[in-house]
Amino acid sequence: GNSVTQMEGPVTLSEEAFLTINCTYTATGYPSLFWYVQYPGEGLQLLLKATKADDKGSNKGFEATYRKETTSFHLEKGSVQVSDSAVYFCALRSAGGTSYGKLTFGQGTILTVHP
């Protein structure tokens, strides 16, 4: 079945530091890939997405590139802010078959940014 693996957390950074959160996946076919963000006490919000190989998703200074050859979708940001402190989830959406539309999530990575 499909699976998503994220780097172990939590991650603690100083403001303006560079962020990378690794995400790799296992899936059949050509899934779509997502990063969701969960701020304290809130539900999940879509941060960015990519629907095919070599696509780059970007939003709010975050970027991730769909790498089919390495089955990866790593999240990066050049300069984090305190307001970026949240839990980040990598997810994939099945491309077809009986699981079409289902989201499979990684375990989440807690990011804390200090001033």
Partner 1 sequence: EAQVTQNPRYLITVTGKKLTVTCSQNMNHEYMSWYRQDPGLGLRQIYYSMNVEVTDKGDVPEGYKVSRKEKRNFPLILESPSPNQTSLYFCASSLASGVEQYFGPGTRLTVT
| Residue 28 contacts partner 1 per CB under 8 A | no
Dist. CA 29–CA 79, nearest whole Å: 34
Task: Report in angstroms how near the CB of residue 58 gets to partner 1 at its nearest.
Answer: 16
Collapsed DSSP state (helix, strand, coil) of residue 12: strand
Task: Report in angstroms how near the CB of residue 45 gets to partner 1 at its nearest.
Answer: 7
Dist. CA 115–CA 112, nearest whole Å: 10
Task: Report in angstroms how near the CB of residue 84 gets to partner 1 at its nearest.
Answer: 19
| Contact yes or no for 77/84 (Cβ under 8 A) | yes
Neighbour-count burial for 6-41, b at 16+ CB within 10 Å, e otherwise: bbeeebebeeeeebebbbbbebeeebbbbbbbbeee
**Taking contact as CB under 8 A, which single stretch among the options 17-25, 60-68, 72-80, 99-107 is the one that binds partner 1?**
99-107
| Residue 103 contacts partner 1 per CB under 8 A | yes
Of 40, 69, 97, 101, the one binding partner 1 (CB under 8 A) is 101
| Contact yes or no for 81/18 (Cβ under 8 A) | no
Task: Report in angstroms how near the CB of residue 107 gets to partner 1 at its nearest.
Answer: 4
Binding site for partner 1 (CB under 8 A): 4, 32, 34, 36, 42-46, 49, 89, 91, 93, 100-103, 105-108
